[in-house]
Structure 1
Amino acid sequence: MKNFDVIIIGGSYAGLSAGMALGRSLRNVLIIDSGKPCNRQTPHSHNFLTQDGRPPKEISTIAREQVEKYDTVKFHDGVVVKTATLNDGFEVETKKGEIFNAKKLIIASGIQDIKPNIPGFSECWGISVLHCPYCHGYEVKNETTGIFANGDIAFEFSKMILNWTKDLTLFTNGKSSLSEEQTQKLKDKSINVNENEIEEITHEDGQIQKLTFKNGEEFLLKALYAKIPFQQNINVSDDLGCEITEQGFIKVDPFQKTNIYGVYACGDNVTMMRSVSNAIAQGNFAGAMVNKELVDEQF
């Protein structure tokens, strides 16, 4: 079958949740997924009622098994490389050249983090190099903690992380771009600003032990929060004309609709609140809204 009511690009938490809502709505759905979620290295998921502390892979495995029970929902292992608008819907092309059509699209493809070229950073990402205090802050509370960021975002992130630990250092990895006022406010809260460039992160199985700087100095550390750039996994801006926010997210309205009729988006690609629970909630709502749009078109 090559024609569907809905194609969901991305089969992680948001995509699976949307798939369940649509499967229960008796819609013919195709979920295309490569099996590489951004949190695949993270050992435990937190701040998610009924699932707190479970490995993310465990949660997604159960989720997929449950969605697979709805026989109108099909899965395809692949990577979407191109999307296009047709007169009566949309066309999706995978890396292998396979073509699928649908009346509606849900973009749940997540984002790709652009990690710095620092040895040890990638190995620690999601384990002791962290993106979210709500997901991981409790587990490293009151520990010797660092923040890897610079400028305004570093200042705001430092204010937040101070809630979880008072033993906090901001690492700008080069000359600080903080204002004098921001620097003084951090100093008043005993948050040191370290401008040394990082040479390497020493770790054991992803658990940080220390930072080594290019000048030879070292800094013992238990956890490092990082604000790093990202990019969308698929080019919905050029292909479909979806609007992108200043921060780089797909712009959606309160109903998870993009600016392109028939195209919805949910999960990490639309919000800075990157959590499993949030992705599942958005996916569930997006599925319901797509079904409503299909229903409305029948009358």
Structure 2
Amino acid sequence: MQYDVIIVGGSFAGLSAALQLARARRQVLLVDAARPRNRYAAHAHGFLGQDGVPPQEIVARAREQLARYPTVAFLDDEALQAAPVDGGFELVLAAGQRVRGARLILATGMRDELPALPGLQERWGQTVLHCPYCHGYEVAGEPLGVLAAHPMSAHQALLLPDWGPTTYFTQGQYEPSPEEARHLAARGVRLERTPVVRLLGEAPALRGVALADGRQVPVHALFVASRTHMASPLAGQLGCAFDEGPLGPVIRVDELKQTTVPGVFAAGDASTPMSNATLASASGVMAGICAHRSLVMA
């Protein structure tokens, strides 16, 4: 079967795109490997109408609603390869199936790479966090830390005192500029230049960090900017251009979510350095509408 649009990725962006196309009565295939970036978080926050709801529950409810539309099909599989073919694009799935669509929406997401510090991964999404807007409220009032992993980490430390007393751990690598240091001091942020070598407490809980000189600093949540990588090779296989974001590459798109490859759209975290549930959903809406418009205009 030739679909009008194949969407790869079934989290907030992909589901939002599928809903627009379903309501336009187009034949849509949603391919999902069920490895969303937010799978480590117990709850979604800051998402209007869904605040505090587990991400898996939001996805399950959305899929249930989508299934009511007769033109939507689901494949719970991983798309391994993508290539242009006459009239559109062909995907090869992990199970060996090949599927074709006239348009392609990549909502494939990102993979996070944390600093090489023991204890971070098993706390990721619970007490080791990336976004104060997503998770700060739940840890507010407790001693907080920012583990420097990027030149923008000082900016993260500037934000955090609105949620709690903050220590900025430079790791001996990401010293704030004189201007940043003045702003951090004005915000009451404590600077710690001795590197963190170990996290304290039984994961996923966190009660503090151990420093290289033997000291311990009380910290109940640690914010860190992960390096980001494409979770899927499809955009590269298709020849899509990338832009270098502050934490890693993102697929280059225009205001209509069109990539540099005609007929291929991108949505969600893979297409923007701003990762947020609401923004991902909104970009999926735009990608779905614009993919439909491209079919009409063709």
- Residue range with higher mean Cα deviation, 147-156 or 274-283: 147-156
Aligned-pair CA distance for 1:80? 1.7
Q: Which residue of 2 aligns with 1:252?
A: 253
Let me know the Cα RMSD of the aligned residues.
1.8
Determine if the alignment matches structure 1 residue 264 to structure 2 residue 262. no
Mapping of 1:94-173 within 5 angstroms? 94-150=93-149, 152-165=151-164, 167-173=165-171
- Residue range with higher mean Cα deviation, 178-187 or 208-217: 178-187
Q: Which residue of 1 aligns with 2:237?
A: 239
Q: For structure 1, list consecutive stretches of 5 or more residues without a partner in the other structure.
A: none
Asked whether the 8 Å contact 2:17–2:286 carries over to 1, the reply is yes
- 1:173–1:94 Cα change, 3 Å: farther
1:182 to 164, 180, 183: 180
Following the alignment from structure 1 to structure 2, what is the Cα–Cα distance between the partners of residues 96 and 173?
44
- Residue range with higher mean Cα deviation, 242-251 or 141-150: 141-150
Asked whether the 8 Å contact 2:257–2:267 carries over to 1, the reply is yes
| Structure-1-length-normalised TM-score | 0.92
Asked whether the 8 Å contact 2:109–2:270 carries over to 1, the reply is yes
Following the alignment from structure 2 to structure 1, what is the Cα–Cα distance between the partners of residues 174 and 150?
7
Determine if the alignment matches structure 1 residue 88 to structure 2 residue 90. no
Q: Which residue of 1 aligns with 2:49?
A: 50
Aligned length: 295
Q: Work out the percentage of aligned pairs sharing the same amino acid.
A: 36
- 1:176–1:134 Cα change, 3 Å: closer
Following the alignment from structure 1 to structure 2, what is the Cα–Cα distance between the partners of residues 191 and 232?
33
Q: Which residue of 2 aligns with 1:224?
A: 222
Q: For structure 2, list consecutive stretches of 5 or more residues without a partner in the other structure.
A: none
| Structure-2-length-normalised TM-score | 0.92
Q: Which residue of 2 aligns with 1:212?
A: 210
The 3-state SS of whatever aligns with 2:251 is coil
Q: Which runs of 4+ in 1 moved over 6 A?
A: none
The 3-state SS of whatever aligns with 1:70 is coil
In the TM superposition, what whole-angstrom CA distance separates every residue of 1:91-131 from its partner, at most 9, and x where no partner exists?
11223332211110100011000122322211111111111
Q: Which residue of 2 aligns with 1:278?
A: 279
Determine if the alignment matches structure 1 residue 9 to structure 2 residue 13. no
Mapping of 1:1-40 within 5 angstroms? 1=1, 3-40=2-39
Aligned-pair CA distance for 1:232? 0.5
Asked whether the 8 Å contact 1:169–1:192 carries over to 2, the reply is yes
- Residue range with higher mean Cα deviation, 151-160 or 41-50: 151-160
- 1:133–1:32 Cα change, 3 Å: same
Aligned-pair CA distance for 1:151? 5.3
The 3-state SS of whatever aligns with 1:208 is coil
